[in-house]
Structure formats: structure tokens, C-alpha cells
Structure 1
Amino acid sequence: MDNNNNYDWAQKSVFVQPQTGVVAKKFFANVFLWMFVALSLSTFSAYFMSANAEFSSFLRNPETLRPTTLGWIATFAPLGLVLLMSAGLNRLSYGALVGVFVLYSVLTGLSLSFILLVYTSTSVLSCFIGAAGIFGIMAIMGYTTNIDLSKFGPILMIGVVGLIIASVVNMFIQSANFSLFMAFIGIAIFTALTAYDVQKLKRIGEGLEANGAQMDADTKKLAIMGALSLYLDFLNIFIYLLRIFGDRR
């Protein structure tokens, strides 16, 4: 799930520093509302799939837990939907973007349902709470800090690309120690990305306010893309915490 969340949509916004007004606050509230919707849909679909052995068998072999053909499709489909939302932002209507975002959230939950079969419920809940705590602290820091975090963006993106390449390599070498090392690096990168993305979204909202924008369809589409960015940050923190601290059944 090491998805690159450096979207082109962010580059089209004006980064200025006016006082936060109504539009900026509504934009920021919409971002977190859609992020909550995505997490809720993913959690529900993951629980539903793991709790129904008959449905779960369509995605994974009950004995080996290896993905079936349909399981591989469910695993890689969310990545395709992320690319669709990012590349087709200007062409997709607001309703279509919402539909793709909802579908992405559900499919991500389905693809991660095996987590509830591999790890104990206690460790999954503990890591989820831990991820929420880390995310919350870094979100507050990103929103309140006066330090310009934009200069760290390229470095963090390089780190994400490095994680993706390392993950592909480890699919062949199957090294547990290397996987554990990447988990620690992944937590560090996506923890920093959380603060970076929150500050970026705050400035986007302020830029919209300064330009006299309203909460129209285009602004709401930006909020959905912002929610996707934060959702990916949280999800990766959670998964990497689970790799380190999760207790297997």
C-alpha cells in the first residue's frame, strides 16, 4: 500500500497565507469528513469479508490465505482507482469522483480483510489506535507549526518510491528482517507525510479563501483528493505498525 500521494491537483492550488475564513474551514472539514467515510467503509467491508468464510474464499484460499485470481484483482484495483482519480480529476464530475472514491474505499477494505484472519483482534485494534494517535499528533503539528514543510515534500516522495521498489524486491527474496526494517522506515516516512499533507491542505484552503472561491463542485473535488491523501497516510502507518507489533493467530 505504499501509494504515492503527491497529486497533480495540489500543484494547481495557490499557496498563500491569508487568515483562515469560512471557505478554508469548510474545505478542511470536508477533507476529514471524507477521510472518515473512507475509513468507515474500508473497516466495514474488511470485517464483513473476514466474518463470512464463503465470501472470503473468493479472495483467498482458506488454507494458505494466498490470494485467488479475484483476490489479486481486488488487491491491485485500488491502485488503478487512485490513478484514475488523480489523472482524471478535471474530467470526472463531482458525483463520479465520489463514486470512484467510495468504490476505492470498499475495495481497499476487501483487499485488507485477510489482516483480520492473520492477526489477532487485540493486536489489530491496538495498532489501529496507535496509528490514530500518531496520525492525530502529526496532523495537529502540521496544522499549527509555522515551519514550512513544503521543502521536505520531494525527499518524502523519494522515500515512498524507495519503499515501493524495496517492497517489490522483497516479494522475491522474502526476507523477514528486511520487511521489518522497511516497516520502521515506512512508519517514519508516512508519519512525516501526515504533517506535510495536513499543512499542504491547510494552505490549499487558505488559497481558495484568498481567491474568493466557494464550496462548489471543483472545491469539493479537491477535498476528496485531500481526504485520499490523508487516508493513505493513515493506512500505511497502521499496516506498518501491524507488521512490527501485530500478533499472529
Structure 2
Amino acid sequence: MTSEEVFQGFSARKPRNSGTTPSPPSPSTLPGPPPPPTPDLAGTFALFAQLLTHAVSISTSDTIERNNVRDPDLFDGSNSGQLRVFFAQLELVFKARPRTFNSAEKKVTYALSYLKGTALQWFEPYLLEGDSETPPVFMSDYQAFQDELRVNFGPYDISGDAEQELESLQMSNSDRISWYITEFNHLATQVRWGSSALRYQFYRGLPARLKDHICLVGKPDSLLGAPDFGPVLG
């Protein structure tokens, strides 16, 4: 056995560098970051549509609250008979905009903005006081505000004035029966008359041609059973 053929055994030493350097792995073989999750477009659009619908419904509701009834006429306190109409116009606004006027104080503030002349001057000192420690109740309570206006600018004797107007109410031949009925009912709600007295006064204020028609068909037992004046008026 020659010396070249002698087994040299296993060695723990690293083999010598053969002169070639191993190439690093290519980028295509390296693991990359995980891909971003695919967005749920259908869910996103559905949520956006829901929010848009809600916003439009709120906007539409607010517009309806603002525009479906006109504002009241200004009240200056010179005509006590207009106070009742002023309150009725305010009530229409409050009923049409319940979310806007959801407190008594908001109603008072709105009503004050439609006063002028002597009526506004009456409340002027309380408005200019600002945040007073003891503001009057009628500046925040709508019922008290109405009472304050009635005492100072309403009719002195509501029932007595209505009785006088009711007794003098007359329908002429050129008037419409709808006008007469409206005026009569407006005054009748302010007096303390019984049904018999009201029926008599209603008949008394009619023109002769309508009285003749009633005599033919018979007098009603109540104002609700008033005869049909269509044949006479036509």
C-alpha cells in the first residue's frame, strides 16, 4: 500500500475554500410581506348609502318643519281683538315644528320676536336685563307669557265684548254664508250662552231670504243641524 493510499480518517475541520463563493438566494425566492386584506366594497357602499339616506331624511324633515306653515303676523298691541288670532297663528307654528319648539322658553323667545310697538316695549326692560338673577316667570313660561299679554293688551272683558259683537252680527245679501258661520262660531266660543240663545241669535242675524228658507224646512234643534242653504244661495 502506497502512502497515497493510506486512509487519513475523518476530520472535524471545515474543508478549505475552493475559491468559489455561494450566491445569495434571488429576491424572487425570498418570502414577502403578506398581501393586504381585500376591502369589503359592498359593505362599505352599503354603509355609505345608509348614512347618506339618514342625512337626507334629517335635512328633508328640517326643511318641512321650516316651510310647511307661515310665520305669524306682527302684533303691536294696538288692537286687542287681534291677540287671539296672534295666539292661534303661534300655535300653528308650534304644532308644525315640534322639534324646534320643544320647550316653553323657546316658544316665548319666538313669540317675542313677532312683537312690535307698544307690545314689544312692554317686554323690553326684561330683555335688556340679560341674565338677571330673578327673571320674571313669563320670560320662560309660555302660559305665563300669554297671560301677561292678555292682561296688558287683550280685551278688558272678552266675554262682554264678544256678546256685543254677536248681537250686532248681521249677514247681508252680498255676504257668503260661510263667512257668517265662521264669524258666528268665532264669537260663540267666547260667550257663556246656552244652545237655545245661540240658535236664536244665529237665526236673527240671517237675511230675510234665508229666514224664509228656514221657515219652509223647519228650524233645527241645534246649530250642528243647520239647514242646507244651497238651494237658496244657488
**TM-score when scaled to structure 1?**
0.21
**TM-score when scaled to structure 2?**
0.22
Larger Rg: 2
